[in-house]
Amino acid sequence: MITKMICTASILCSLALALSPAGAAEEQERPKLKPALLVIDVQNIWLPMMAQADRDVAPANINKAIALFRKLEYPVIAVYHSDPKHGPPPGTEPFKFPEWVAVRADDPVIVKAHSSSFPETGLDSLLKKSGRDAVFLCGLSATGCVLATYFGATERGYLACMVKDALLSDDSTHTAAVEDICASASIDEMESLLKRRD
């Protein structure tokens, strides 16, 4: 618990410092944070396997996170899983996000075959090309692909933060554990931090 508190405090402090108003001298020394939202694997095939408690809470918060990033003109990236041998094949109904997920046709799309969204995809290049230096993560599974992507991001030098109550797994106690061990921010905390960017 203490480790989680230190990690969360650290990332929130980093986010707050990066987004806080600064004087001209400080502004030259410290670039503003440029985050992206990753909406991971919220696909028709996986959703029925998730805990009902998570399915009751996460959808609204996923869409709140998407709406916040759109309002602040930060990118929303849709990440899909498709294993070459086991699918689901791209373009099929099991592969798609359900209609309630507020991604748009013009949002960048990443299709992955590994737990992490980084290996053998264009995600790192996409983030770097657009100058992103932080990722907020939501979707499923909290204990699998979202967690792997979180660590993949930190290994590549990005600030990473879970969107609290916007994660799903097959056991809601496991989802809560991921939020406890990782840097996590609620929608309200994200909004407070991200709105201070200007």
**What is the pLDDT, as a whole number, of residue 175?**
98
Look-up: residue for tokens 């013009």?
106
What is the C-alpha to C-alpha distance for residues 49 and 81, in angstroms, rounded to an integer?
15
Bridging pattern class, strands 76-81 and 109-112: parallel
Q: Which residues pair with 134 in a beta bridge?
A: 35, 159
Angular region, 162: left φ>0, alpha ψ -120 to 50, beta rest: beta
Instruction: List the one residue out of 173, 176, 170, 172 whose CA is nearest residue 46.
Output: 170
**What is the pLDDT, as a whole number, of residue 197?**
54
Decide: helix, strand or coil at residue 91. Answer: coil
What stretches in the chain show pLDDT beneath 50? Answer: 1-10, 13, 16-30, 198
**What is the pLDDT, as a whole number, of residue 7?**
45
What is the C-alpha to C-alpha distance for residues 24 and 40, in angstroms, rounded to an integer?
38
Instruction: List the one residue out of 5, 40, 7, 64 whose CA is nearest residue 142.
Output: 40
Which contiguous run of DSSP H or E holds residue 13? Answer: helix 2-19
Q: In CATH, what class is 2-197?
A: alpha beta
**Residue ranges of the domains in the chain?**
2-197
**What is the pLDDT, as a whole number, of residue 8?**
46
Count of Cβ atoms closer than 10 Å to residue 71 Cβ: 11
